[in-house]
């Protein structure tokens, strides 16, 4: 696909998706800038996830898509996209709405994941789903969109950038939370019912046992904490108003424990070690969704657990039957990790 060596290449990356998906897109602008230092890179994101890209030196502009269906809104968004005269667009989450917006915006080279009829009739180039290999990582698969224009790289570590002022905020948070303890361990208990996860009472047991260990302080990182684990004594419940607040909280930690959700990817992008509970089903596996860029300790149930105990619906899996993921499994991983910190 044609890339200009004379005129400025102007790239639009489209990822109006969830936190983890957006974090996994961060290698793309970095590698575009590495290949074309003078290029212009813009992200099209949801308002909630823009905080992932704040202060990113590889991004020149962020456009917010509120996802509204009204014609006046879509016309305003179309005009905003046309204003920047993009030469290329990469649709990491293609939808028919986005596809037509980019088509009418006049972007000549458009590349999308998948191969829908609306992509065919608008001459959108595709990273073909039939060539999908489950054992490849999602970030690697999305990176195929820029491989179409000759970006040859396997550097997929994710990244979030903090300003010097933010680093001081993180330092102050850590000092406040630790309160004389040596290790600060975060636990994110919710998953939006998107992946297999423990029930709140299992997290309660883990928290209760962790806080009795020497030199450990526990921080709950959820925005909305389940009733079962609210107000546990000697546990920190930081206030959050924005996603950037969560970034600061996670950056203050020594370790984050969670199911396979967005906060684990934030931790990876900040180089904070993670202990993540995964399901071995191909659509949920660590081969596809493991955090990238940090020390990622991925815990799975026994090999045959899904076949014996699971309904096959990952949203109804709690790892609680024999051979699942126990509190002892996670405690053992924590003790092993803090001995190396």
User: Which pLDDT belongs to residue 303?
Assistant: 81
Where do we find the tokens 């308002």? 47
Report whether pLDDT(122) > 80. no
Report whether pLDDT(189) > 60. yes
Identify whether the C-beta of residue 323 lies closer than 8 Å to the C-beta of residue 301: yes
- Among 4-8, 241-245, 262-266, 323-327, the range scoring the smallest mean pLDDT is 4-8
Q: How many percent of the chain have pLDDT more than 90? A: 74
For residue 242, what pLDDT band results from cuts at 50, 70 and 90? very high
Q: Kindly report each contact of residues 71-77 with a partner whose C-beta sits within 8 Å and lies 24 or more positions away, as own/partner.
A: 74/101, 77/101
Report whether pLDDT(131) > 60. no
* Homologous superfamily of 10-147: Glycogen Phosphorylase B; (3.40.50.2000)
Domain 164-338, what fold? Rossmann fold (3.40.50)
Across the range 214-222, mean pLDDT stands at 96
What pTM, to 2 d.p., does this model score? 0.94
Q: Would you list the DSSP string of 65-107?
A: ------HHHHHHHHHHHHHT--SEEEESS--HHHHHHHHHTT-
Cα distances from 200 to residues 220, 224, 263, 294, 323, in angstroms, run: 12, 12, 17, 27, 19
d(CA 274, CA 294): 8
Which residues of the chain does CATH 3.40.50.2000 include?
Answer: 10-147, 164-338
d(CA 52, CA 29): 13
What digits encode the pLDDT tens for the residues 26-80?
999 999 999 999 999 999 999 999 999 999 999 999 999 999 989 999 999 999 9
Across the range 224-245, mean pLDDT stands at 96
Residues in contact with 104: Cβ distance below 8 Å, sequence separation at least 6, in sequence order: 78
User: Which pLDDT belongs to residue 169?
Assistant: 98
Mean residue pLDDT of the chain comes to: 92
Across the range 263-267, mean pLDDT stands at 99
User: Which pLDDT belongs to residue 6?
Assistant: 67
User: Which pLDDT belongs to residue 7?
Assistant: 85
- Among 231-245, 249-263, 280-294, the range scoring the smallest mean pLDDT is 280-294
Cα distances from 275 to residues 4, 217, 327, in angstroms, run: 44, 16, 12
User: Which pLDDT belongs to residue 1?
Assistant: 61
């Amino acid at each position: 696909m044609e890339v200009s060596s004379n005129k400025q290449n102007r790239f639009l990356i489209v990822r109006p998706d969830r936190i983890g998906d957006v974090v996994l897109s961060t290698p793309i602008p970095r590698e575009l800038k590495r290949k074309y230092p003078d290029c212009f890179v813009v992200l099209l994101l949801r308002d909630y996830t823009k905080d992932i890209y704040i202060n990113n030196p590889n991004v020149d502009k962020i456009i917010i898509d509120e996802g509204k269906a009204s014609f006046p809104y879509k016309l305003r968004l179309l005009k905003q996209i046309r204003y920047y005269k993009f030469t290329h667009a990469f649709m990491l989450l293609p939808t028919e709405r986005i596809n037509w917006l980019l088509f009418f915006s006049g972007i000549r080279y458009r590349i999308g994941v998948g191969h829908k009829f609306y992509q065919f009739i608008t001459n959108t180039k595709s990273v073909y789903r039939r060539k999908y290999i489950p054992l490849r990582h999602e970030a690697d698969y999305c990176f195929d969109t820029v491989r179409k224009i000759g970006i040859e790289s396997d550097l997929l570590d994710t990244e979030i950038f903090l300003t010097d002022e933010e680093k001081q905020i993180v330092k102050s948070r850590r000092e406040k939370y630790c309160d004389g303890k040596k290790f600060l361990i975060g636990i994110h208990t919710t998953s939006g019912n998107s992946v297999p996860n423990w029930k709140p009472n299992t997290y309660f047991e883990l928290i209760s046992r962790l806080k009795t260990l020497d030199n450990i302080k526990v921080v709950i990182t959820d925005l909305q904490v389940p009733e079962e684990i609210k107000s546990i004594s000697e546990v920190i419940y930081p206030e959050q108003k924005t996603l950037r607040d969560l970034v600061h909280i996670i950056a203050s930690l020594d370790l984050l424990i969670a199911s396979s959700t967005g906060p684990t990817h934030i931790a990876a992008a900040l180089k904070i070690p993670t202990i993540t509970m995964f399901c071995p089903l191909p659509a949920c596996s660590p081969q596809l969704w493991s955090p990238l860029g940090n020390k990622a300790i991925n815990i799975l149930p026994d090999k045959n657990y899904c076949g014996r105990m699971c309904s096959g619906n990952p949203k109804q899996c709690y790892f609680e039957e024999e051979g699942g993921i126990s509190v002892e499994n996670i405690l053992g991983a924590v003790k092993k990790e803090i001995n190396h910190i």
